A = this chain, B = another copy of it.
Amino acid sequence: MIIYEAKNWFGALKHFHTSYSIQVLLKRVGYVSVYGILLTLIDQHVADIHVPFDGTLFSLLGITLSLLLVFRTNTAYDRFWEGRRQWGLLVNYSRNLAVLLDALLPDEAVTNRIFFARMLSNFALALKGHLRTGVDFAELEETGNDELKTLPDYTHIPSRLAALLMRRFQALRQDGLVNDADLITVRLYHQALLDITGSCERIKKTPIPFSYSFFIKLFITLYVLLIPLVLVSNYGYFGILATTLAAYALIGIEMIGDEIEEPFGLDCNDLPLNQIAQTIRRNVHEILRVEPSTIVQPKQEVDYIKVN
């Protein structure tokens, strides 16, 4: 995710190179411009290639296309925001679990406190990996029982970590550290872990249906190819300017939609999962009053910098 200052208009414009997809967009718009220039050159010097496409209908199709693109933008942003909300919930429930366990466990139950501080941190880090390129087992910290050693044997790591947590709660009950009423609340919080996992997997694995994606892309392609054909004979070289701006608008909206609809990757606009996971780690250690074994400094949140 790129951190930026929303109200600084020109500051934003100066940092266009910070966003990879804006760069790709400008390149693609460049291709369309070249196409427009070629057509105009042919029209001016070789042969008249004006297509008398009806202006009203042309405009109408443009509006239809714009409405579709706004639909597309809305769904893409909804996924982005739902992904963010899920990770926000992970922060909330990790803290809530930590606060509850801090009150339930006596101050001297250091082993248990370390177990939960590390396990909750591990869960966030493992979920990050699970949603990106795979869990990086080196990031996880041993919780005391060699439980992490067998982790690679499992296909679904977050489920396994959730199961280990649940078994530990059960062990606390047998040790008399928590009772049945406590467990009702503990399980309510714990349930959130796999709910969040499932929701993120859903967003990741189910993009907007192929038909829509194809339909919109073909619509834009045909429309953008048509613009200079329609404009060339009346507006000459100025048609290129119009074509370029239209290509910028239409291709841009579609591309940004493609980028943010799956917000768990490492693209410029994707969510800073690693940063959020580190926040969880810092917070649960602090709440449970456990010293973290290594300290990862939070990145300075400088403007126009990418965090992931």
A contact residues vs B (CB 8 Å cutoff) = 1-2, 4, 6-7, 9, 12-13, 15-16, 18-19, 21-22, 25, 51-71, 73-75, 77, 80-81, 84-85, 88-89, 91-92, 95-96, 98-100, 102-104, 154-156, 159-160, 162-163, 166-167, 169-170, 179-185, 187-189, 191, 194-195, 197-199, 201-202, 206-215, 217-219, 221-223, 226-227, 231, 234-236, 238-239, 241-242, 245-246, 248-250, 252-253, 255-256, 258-262, 268-269, 271, 282-283, 286-287
Contacts and interface: CB of A to CB of B under 8 A. Distances in A.
Contacts of A54: 231, 234-235, 239, 242
Nearest to A59: B56
Nearest to A51: B238
A4 B210 contact: yes
A226 B238 CA distance: 12
Given A269-B210, A283-B156, A62 B62 contact: no
A287 B158 CA distance: 10
27 contacts: A1-B206, A2-B210, A4-B207, A7-B259, A9-B217, A19-B211, A21-B211, A52-B238, A54-B234, A57-B59, A57-B242, A62-B64, A67-B69, A68-B253, A71-B74, A71-B77, A75-B77, A89-B198, A92-B197, A96-B191, A102-B166, A160-B287, A180-B181, A181-B184, A210-B268, A211-B259, A215-B253
Contacts of A15: 210, 214
A180 to B, nearest CB: 3
A201 B65 contact: no
Nearest to A244: B222
A28 to B, nearest CB: 8
Contacts of A256: 209, 211-212, 215
B73 A70 contact: no
Given A75-B77, A89-B198, A248 B219 contact: yes
Contacts of A81: 75
Nearest to A7: B258
A305 to B, nearest CB: 11
